[in-house]
Amino acid sequence: MTKPKKLTYKELESHIIKLQNYIQALDNKYSHAVNTIGKTITDYIEFKNHKEEFMEYLEDKYGKKEDSDAMRDVQKEDKKEPKSKIHRI
């Protein structure tokens, strides 16, 4: 049985670049899809002239923006824990 051929540095670098390009293209597609969905929903709400009702619905469901900002600040403070010191020998 023959040993599998090892990749050269140039071949490995080429594969990594192809993978990076693929990941970037995929990220761009997902970002575009999310932006398109968001824009479509916004346009639909504006078209139906229900923006105020929709904003009230969101406030009822999630609370006012100021409340969510305050809650986010509290959550950040809760996450701050003193880091333990690591002593190296």
pLDDT per residue as tens, the chain (89 positions) = 688 888 899 999 999 999 999 999 999 999 999 999 988 888 888 888 887 888 888 888 888 766 656 656 655 665 555 555 555 55
Q: The pTM is what? A: 0.48
The count of other CB atoms within 10 Å of the CB of residue 6 is 7
42 part of a folded domain: yes
Count: domains in the chain: 1
86 part of a folded domain: no
28 part of a folded domain: yes
Q: H-helix or E-strand containing 89?
A: none
44 part of a folded domain: yes
14 part of a folded domain: yes
Give counts: helices (H), strands (E), the chain: 3, 0
41 part of a folded domain: yes
Q: Domain of residue 41: give its range.
A: 10-64
Question: What count of Cα atoms within 13 Å lies in the side-chain half-sphere of residue 45?
Answer: 15
Q: Residue 15 to residues 12, 25, 28: CA-CA distances in angstroms?
A: 5, 15, 20
